[in-house]
Amino acid sequence: MIKAVLVLNTEGKPRLAKFYQFQSVEKQHEAIRNVFSVLCCRPEHVSNFVDAESFFGPDSRLVYKHFATLYFMFIFDSSENELAMLDLIQVFVETLDKCFRNVCELDIVFNYSKMHTILDEIILGGQVLETSSNEVMKAIEEISRLESASNAINLVPKSVSGWRSR
Amino acid sequence: MAGSSIMENLFQRTLEDLIKGLRLQLIGESTFISNATEEIRREVKSTDQHTKSIALQKLSYLSAVHAVDMSWACFHVVEVMSSSKFAHKRIGYHAASQSFNDNTPVLLLITNQLRKDLSSTNHFEVSLALDLLSRIATLDLARDLTPEVFKLLSTARVFIRKKAIAVVLRVFDKYPDAVRVCFKRLVENLESSDPQVVTAVIGVFCELAAKDPGSYLPLAPEFYRILVDSKNNWVLIKVLKVFAKLAPLEPRLGKRIVEPVCDHMGRSGAKSLVFECVRTVLTSLSDYESAVKLAVEKVRELLVDQDPNLRYLGLQALSVATPEHLWAVIENKEAVVKSLSDDDSNIKIESLRLLMAMVSESHVADISRVLLNYALKSDPEFSNQILGSILTTCCRNVYEIVVDFDWYVSLLGEMAMIPNCQKGEEIETQLVDIGMRVKDARMQLVRVGRDLLIDPALLGNVHLHRILCAAAWIAGEYVEVAANPFELMDALLQPRTSLLPPSIRAVYINSAFKILIFCLDCYILQNEGSASWYSDNLAGGQSDLLSVKNDTEAAELATCEGSNDEQHEDFNPRNATESSEDLSVKNDIDRVATHGQASTPPTVLGKKNSMHESIVSLLNRIELIFGPLIANQDVEVLERAQNLLSLVQLIKEEIIDNLVQSVVDIANKKVTRVTAIINLLRDAFTTELGPVSTSAQGRIVVPDGLVLKENLDDLQAMCGDIELPSSSSFGTGVPHLTTTSDTSSSNLLKNEESGPLKESTSLIEHRKRHELYYLPSEKSEIVSDEYPPAKKDKKRANQTKPRLALVRLDDGDVAPISVKRPEPRDDSLSGAIKDVLLRSETGPCMSGSSRSKNHGHSHTKERRHRGKEKIVEGEEHDQREKKKSGHCRGRRKTHQRAKSPVNVVSHTPVIPDFLL
């Protein structure tokens, strides 16, 4: 089971934080700070594993990938495979890349809601649901169209409707 | 109203505006956030759905990214969730999944909304509801929404079905009775041809099996089919994890799966799958030699891979293999040792653990040598981890793997000298511990201690202070095996010892005391030997035998005088006196040896003078170094320094007086008071210290008749009372004694009579007071009877000591670890699953209709067996069956009737053997 998904930048600012086991806001941010203090000390070209028991309780491991200015990390228990989790980070990043075309930190900063929607199509309740970025893209595109249609309806003023009926 | 709504809508700041504003803040971010939060508090109260939704979206963002509390907005979340517009609904659901938990007060309000959305024709709305349910489902929500989830488990829309499957895990966890409704359908999804569905359902079973594997053993054939047929790596990894849990419970299962697991391990190009196969084999199939060998080959490939992730996992796999297949670790020893030099701290730590697992008594020295070299050139943190690992491994089970203690003591000394070493406390503990346990190692301990003590540079290293403390203690305690006591004394008297903290300085002073006593004792022995020689000379050529005889006589005289002094001062009980006599006999032997060494006539006088000068010089040096310490602020340092200096003063007076006396006078001089004092102190220090068991205190037997009260309030009353009330209290206790009343009365009377006689002495009064309270006088007699057994124990220990190189206490040195029983697991989920599985296995069904009928039928029967209370429910089921059968054709009715006997037979709760 996946316990949390975090995306931090290289200054430790959270860009995405999703916890699948409830923790208070204070504890969440304490965990984020602790994780970052470990990651920022790790050099390049070393393994992407961190023991997360001191942050997330027993049976917790963390894998991360470092892309440009961002750290993507999954925290999970022994029901998950470490290399598979690294692959899943790759799927997540690939999906973001397809959505935003050459994704960078700014895209993530300004697309908070879309980020969560993408992640929700990959993981539900801490369980891996979809491992194909193409399938995720299909769902995201449908959701976007649905939202656009919903917003378009909202934009029609009532006065215009009244005029048309008259 | 319409105009107002449009106005709010047009001018409200969006989430994007909020983010832009935040990014512009350099130092005023917290103020900006506070203002934004206040703005949101106003906006979220708007009756316009769009305004409210945007406000909630901004609040969710601030909560997730800037730790802003949003629990106050839970009611508004419910409102937004119920919006008919998907864009708004999504915002509400996201806010709920982020902030709702078991304690959220409005959870009851969302039950109907969730039910409605779970039934929506818009599958993205269903998706939102399922996602929320997977995050926040409570017992109430799970119970109320189980029917909806049940329906979705078989919906044709794969997009929805896979999510419903994932939600089941949370529903089962919160509401175990849901198993009776949904489990069968969950199992059916294992047979789906859609990879997304199988991915979801095998993931659920992986989580369920991790908690309670035994319940899912009957599903092994389904898992086996997936293991053999699936091409999806994600699915295979999960099913391997399931089997890793199931295989240890059923030996035949392991036998069946070992072949397909090896196939995947051998053929798959996916590293993640190969690693999972390796892990499964090493944890759950370790009895199958060929599988283990293949796994170890794969591990070797991982160990030499360029990817540090794979190298790390390879080391992890070896760690898993260590308990049962240590040969695999030894086989890859070179790769493990090489990993100690890796840049990755993860890899270094893992390889260090593996090396320590390989350690045995035959090559602990080799491995320690390798590790010490790595410690010398590693960063401080890893260097200390290496040292800590060596220390922990070598002292395990009372130094079980250490054969050569001289080597180990030297190793401890080398560790102390490693730069960045911060293991001073542990090294200190082990040095002292070995000194007490391994007599043969004491000489080496003193050598190592000497090397540490004489180096003035070490005194400035705070990390070494504890080690120097141990070295000082060892030098003092085992000075008799030292090559040069004066050198040790010089080391303890270095001016730079002022850099030590008071607690360690105190140990230095105490050790100096012990060494001084040893030196003085040698000096006295030498004088006596010299006196004997002069006597021989004066007598005109006596034989050596006569000299020995004279020495013996002198010893006897000293012993007699010692006894007299002890009796006179009345400090020691008889046992102590006997012990002293034993020690005196031992010292006689030492004296004879000393005499032999000093018997060369031409050098006697010269040597005597040299010794004399050394002693005088030593005494002066002690005064110089320790003199200022009598004004020290630390009471431990102050008192020890004062004691030592007082003794030095006494001795100096005696020795200076000796200078003016003639040789003949010395020969005839009686043993002085100072000599007696030195002998006493030497005897005191000669008592050997041994290790103390952690359960030693518990072995003291509580005297018969003594009632230990938990509440000590009586002590307060006793302290405040005069003598008479104490006596009354004792009198009150009389009825509780088991002895005859006559004896008790006699003792009481005796105590009363003796009271006035001893009243004048405060010490006597104190003893009487305590005796009256703690022990009746008759009990003290019983206590005295226990002395002989203790004495016997001591003698026995002394007799066995020469035979044992290592002192180990019978009841173990380590405090017994209290094994905590695992807390009783909540069996409701397990019971429910077993119940469902037993019924689901009652026989194959020919048609859907038949299956449904059989299900109801066996259900009814089982309920009848459960008891009278279930009859009503059973009747309901009967009626339901009757209604259903009304729709069936005549031929089917006959068929169903024919099925009945089979159901009855198969009702017996026998778990079928699926694997044969």
Tens of pLDDT, residue by residue over B341-370, are: 888 988 989 899 898 898 887 878 988 978
Q: Which of residues 762-781 of B touch A (CB under 8 A)?
A: none
> What does the pLDDT average to over A114-139?
91
Q: Residue ranges per domain, chain A?
A: 1-153
Rounded Cα–Cα distance for residues B352 and B370 (Å): 11
> Residue B479: in which H helix or E strand, if any?
none
Q: Measured between alpha carbons, how far is residue B321 from residues B184, B232, B336, B357, B500 in Å?
A: 37, 27, 14, 11, 47
Least confident of B285-299, B456-470, B590-604: B590-604
Distance from CA of B139 to the nearest CA of A (A): 16
Interface mutation vs chain A, best among B60, B88, B97, most A CBs within 10 Å: B97
Backbone angles phi, psi at B28, to 5 degrees: -105, 30
> Residue B824: in which H helix or E strand, if any?
none
Nearest to B355 by CA among B375, B341, B345, B340: B340
* B897 has a pLDDT exceeding 60: no
Burial of B693 (0-12, 13-18, 19+ CB in 10 A): middle
**Contact by Cβ (8 Å): B618, B489:** yes
Q: Domains of chain B (ranges plus CATH)?
A: 7-99 (no CATH), 111-458 (1.25.10.10), 501-531+606-688 (1.20.120)
* B467 has a pLDDT exceeding 90: yes
**Contact by Cβ (8 Å): B850, B899:** yes
Distance from CA of A58 to the nearest CA of B (A): 15
* B22 has a pLDDT exceeding 70: yes
pLDDT at residue B391, as a whole number: 94
Three-state DSSP class for residue A19 = strand
pLDDT at residue B655, as a whole number: 66
**Contact by Cβ (8 Å): B711, B457:** no
Backbone angles phi, psi at B622, to 5 degrees: -60, -45
CB pairs under 8 A between A and B: 145
Three-state DSSP class for residue B399 = coil
* A162 has a pLDDT exceeding 60: no
Alpha helix ranges (H) inside B627-722: 635-659, 663-668, 673-686, 713-720
Long-range Cβ contacts of B241-244 (<8 Å, 24+ apart): B241/A79, B241/A81, B241/B206, B241/B209, B241/B210, B241/B276, B241/B280, B242/B202, B242/B205, B242/B206, B242/B209, B242/B216, B243/B280, B243/B284, B244/B279, B244/B280, B244/B283, B244/B284
Backbone angles phi, psi at A103, to 5 degrees: -60, 140
Query: What's the order of all strands across the beta sheet hosting A2-9?
Result: A14-19, A2-9, A70-76, A61-67, A49-51
* A144 has a pLDDT exceeding 60: yes
Name every chain A residue with its beta carbon within 8 A of the beta carbon of B203.
127-128
pLDDT at residue B539, as a whole number: 42
**Contact by Cβ (8 Å): B91, A116:** no
Q: Considering only alpha carbons, which residue of chain B is nearest residue A24?
A: B99
Backbone angles phi, psi at A8, to 5 degrees: -120, 155
Interface mutation vs chain A, best among B123, B133, B309, B341, most A CBs within 10 Å: B309
pLDDT tens for residues B102-144?
Answer: 889 888 889 989 988 999 998 899 999 999 999 899 999 998 9
* B846 has a pLDDT exceeding 50: no
- Give domain A1-153's CATH architecture: 2-Layer Sandwich (3.30)
Average model confidence (pLDDT) across chain B = 73
Nearest to B146 by CA among B827, B832, B825, B826: B832
> What does the pLDDT average to over B403-432?
91
pLDDT above 90 as % of chain B: 32
Rounded Cα–Cα distance for residues B786 and B793 (Å): 11
Name every chain B residue with its beta carbon within 8 A of the beta carbon of A128.
199, 203, 234
Three-state DSSP class for residue A4 = strand
**Contact by Cβ (8 Å): B188, B152:** no
The two tokens of residue B668 are: 């005839």
Q: Which of residues 10-39 of A touch B (CB under 8 A)?
A: 13-18, 20, 22, 25-26, 28-29
- Choose from B669-683, B691-705, B828-842 the range with maximum mean pLDDT: B691-705
> What does the pLDDT average to over B732-749?
37
Name every chain A residue with its beta carbon within 8 A of the beta carbon of B102.
22
pLDDT above 70 as % of chain B: 66
pLDDT at residue B542, as a whole number: 35
pLDDT band at A124 (very low <50, low <70, confident <90, very high): very high
Interchain pair A127, B57: CB under 8 A:
no
pLDDT tens for residues B74-86?
Answer: 989 999 999 988 9
> What does the pLDDT average to over B679-683?
82
* B688 has a pLDDT exceeding 80: no
Rounded Cα–Cα distance for residues B845 and B892 (Å): 13
- Which one of B6, B199, B309 has the shortest CB-CB distance to A47? B309
Residue B126, C-beta contacts closer than 8 angstroms, at least 6 positions apart: B117, B118, B119, B120, B152, B160, B163
> What does the pLDDT average to over B565-594?
35
Q: Between B736 and A66, whose confidence is greater?
A: A66
Name every chain A residue with its beta carbon within 8 A of the beta carbon of B90.
113, 117, 143, 147
Rounded Cα–Cα distance for residues B96 and B792 (Å): 76
Alpha helix ranges (H) inside B598-634: 604-626
Least confident of B207-216, B356-365, B810-819: B810-819
Place of tokens 């190592």: B448
Nearest to B679 by CA among B799, B590, B794: B590
**Contact by Cβ (8 Å): B209, B245:** yes
Q: Which of residues 810-829 of B touch A (CB under 8 A)?
A: none
Q: Summarize chain A as % helix, strand, coil (round to 5).
A: 50, 20, 25
The count of other CB atoms within 10 Å of the CB of residue A10 is 14
Q: Give me the torsion for CA of B423, B428, B431, B437, rounded to 10°.
A: -120
Rounded Cα–Cα distance for residues B133 and B837 (Å): 26
* B807 has a pLDDT exceeding 80: no
> What does the pLDDT average to over B549-572?
37
Interface mutation vs chain A, best among B50, B189, B234, most A CBs within 10 Å: B234
Is residue B6 less than 8 Å (CB to CB) from chain A?
yes
Interior angle at CA B358, CA B354 and CA B360, nearest 5? 150
Cα-only R_g, chain A: 19
pLDDT at residue B175, as a whole number: 94
Nearest to B310 by CA among A86, A56, A118: A86
Name every chain B residue with its beta carbon within 8 A of the beta carbon of A25.
63, 67-70
pLDDT band at B276 (very low <50, low <70, confident <90, very high): very high
* A20 has a pLDDT exceeding 90: yes
Nearest to B152 by CA among B176, B131, B175: B131
Q: Between B29 and B200, whose confidence is greater?
A: B200
Range list of β-strands (E), B289-447 = none
pLDDT at residue B284, as a whole number: 92
pLDDT at residue B8, as a whole number: 58
Is residue B429 less than 8 Å (CB to CB) from chain A?
no
